[in-house]
Amino acid sequence: MTQRGRATRPTGRPRGAERPRGGDLAARRDRLRAVIEPVVVDAGYDLEDLSVSRAGRRHVVRVIVDADGGINLDGVADVSRAVSAALDAAEETGGDIVAGEYQLEVSSPGVDRPLTLPRHWRRNVGRLVKVTTRAAAALPEQRAEQPAGDRQVTGRIVSADDERVALETDTGRAEWAYAQLGPGRVQVEFNRLDEIDEAEFGEAGDAGDSDEIDDEDVEDEER
């Protein structure tokens, strides 16, 4: 299975060089995305999430990337270096991207990440998931048997495309359009732990040096 991980890079302006914080959080996140997303896409990956949090005097910029087949530790490190260089270049040209000293963290999604887009479901074919369905299954022979309204369904992803996903459940195979589903959650199967890299549980080792950050000092600003 593809190895997953996280790269942490201390970067940004040196202490004492912080510029005044400008704009609201949404605008700051948009500025970051405008710089980071093209770099991630050019490297052949998808930008799955981007968040900014405050840790003492610095910001922590967290970037989640993924691709079909996953991303290995070398890929994470390459993306981290490319994103860091792009942010530095944007700052040098006068852009107030982060407003102060910051630390960059690049990682891949863990198994606890919700499945919200077609590509998330496609990349987890074969895995057991739990999801809330908002309508009856699409298969004509099953529609009369499926209760209307919201309900929890647990099943293994059999297939997924841009329109719908098929799950194998205790009552048989059923298909849903994505609009009929809430966020999916991958279920950890203890008899299949050897197939899941421990890094996917959010315990990946860091690549690069970084200062320790006390959890009590961290307050989320944007997600």
The Cα angle at residue 208 between residues 206 and 214, in degrees rounded to 5: 60
Neighbours of 53 (CB within 10 A): 19
Phi and psi at residue 123, to the nearest 5°:
-75, -5
Query: What is the chain's pLDDT, residue by residue, as a tens digit (223 residues)?
Result: 333 445 555 555 443 444 434 446 677 888 899 999 999 999 999 999 999 888 788 888 999 999 998 899 999 999 999 999 999 998 888 667 776 788 999 999 988 899 999 999 999 999 999 999 985 544 454 455 555 568 899 999 999 999 999 999 999 999 999 999 999 999 988 765 555 554 454 434 343 334 444 444 434 444 4
Distance of alpha carbon 197 from its chain centroid, rounded?
A: 16
Question: How does DSSP assign 132-200, residue by residue?
Answer: EE-S--S-HHHHTTSPSS-EEEEEEEEEE-SSEEEEEETTEEEEEEGGGB--BEEPP-GGGGGGS-GGG
Whether the model pTM is above 0.85:
no
Structure-token match 């981290």, residue found: 80
Domains of the chain: 6-110+198-222 (3.30.300.70), 118-187 (2.30.30.520)
